[in-house]
Amino acid sequence: MLRRRPQALVAGLLLLVGLAAAGPAVACTLFGLAGPDAAGGGTLLVKNRDWRPDQTQRLELVSPAGGTPYLGLIATGGGASGLKAGVNAAGLSVISATASSIPREERKAEKGVGGILRRLLTECGSVEQALARRDLFAHAKPCFYMLADRREIARVETAPGGRFAVTRVSRGPLWQTNHYLEPSLAGFNRTIGVSSRIRAARIESLLDSLKKPANLDALLALSRDRADGPDNSLWRTGGTPASTRTMATFAVAMPPQGPGTLYLRTADPDAPERTFTLRLDAAVFTGKSALARSAK
């Protein structure tokens, strides 16, 4: 199925996740591996997207005029609709998580530029190029980003007052939940949520103990971890029908050379979960592919 909109070509695979009621605070878990620790080299990047059950999601191929095409996970309905994760034709992936250790009203009151994920995916082809966009990060609202290309992963924590911190790895793991990890920004953690603290400790432990080199399947197994119950696990099912839960896993394996792989899992409370993988070849980003999926 094909759809058109101004300055963008939106191609099929609309994965709609029907969701019902509002719930408590939202969260996400981001993690990855780079270099020799990733099987075959390159990088592995994973986002477990947690949100209230009040949105739908779809995967779109967007070809902006004068920019790099990208595949993006788009959320609509409820609050904070928009782009939540993406990978572009140059091999750059960008994912984000809420800085919920700062109260919501204070985050909303911060002035900042919008559309940072979209701009990074459209205007940058590597982690190096993205990190050079200090103008974006210095004017961003409080948020957490992770970026990956064929050789490295970076974490960018943006804070009030134009402050931000960058952590880069070309070998080994990197992760983020919903509070500041960089010591220079730790003072902005007004309240660290129980779930964020538990998930951070859990993903750090799992990544440290993971047999390496690890492939995408190994990281996807971590994304399904439910060891800490319905509200604090990496894959959250929600303690009540209105509770925040994991709505999607968006993951990208990007080798040193050749096409990468996109994996997407969506969870609809009223229907069976759906998963598919895409080979990120040139045809996918030119709209010439039917975006054929392999459902499991």
- CATH number of the domain at 147, please: 3.60.60.10
270 within domain boundaries:
yes
Instruction: Kindly state whether residue 161 falls inside one of the protein's structural domains.
Output: yes
Whether omega before 213 lies within 30 degrees of 0, making that bond cis, reads: yes
Please report whether residue 291 resides in a domain.
no
Give the three-class secondary structure for 148.
Answer: strand
Question: What does the pLDDT read at residue 287?
Answer: 82
Are 55 and 197 within 8 A, CB to CB?
Answer: no
Percent of the chain with pLDDT over 90: 77
- Is residue 277 pLDDT above 50, yes or no? yes
What SS3 class is residue 70?
strand
Q: Is residue 11 part of a domain?
A: yes
Query: Structural domain of residue 280, as residue ranges?
Result: 2-227+242-286
| pLDDT tens figures, 202-218 | 999 999 999 999 999 99
Which whole number is the average pLDDT over 212-229?
A: 98
Which pLDDT score, from 0 to 100, does residue 290 have?
A: 55
Residue 237 lies in a domain: no
On whether residue 151 sits in a domain, the answer given is yes
DSSP string, 191-251: ---HHHHHHHHHHHHHHHHS-SSB-HHHHHHHHT--TTHHHHSSS---SSTTS-EEEEEEE
The whole-number average pLDDT for the span 238-249 is: 94
**How many domains does the chain divide into?**
1
Neighbouring C-alpha atoms within 13 Å toward the C-beta of 182: 19
Whether 46 shows a pLDDT value over 60: the answer reads yes
Domain annotation covers residue 296: no
| Predicted local confidence at residue 291, as pLDDT | 54
pLDDT band at 93 (very low <50, low <70, confident <90, very high): very high
- pLDDT tens readout for residues 102-161: 999 999 899 888 899 999 999 999 999 999 999 999 999 999 999 999 999 999 999 999
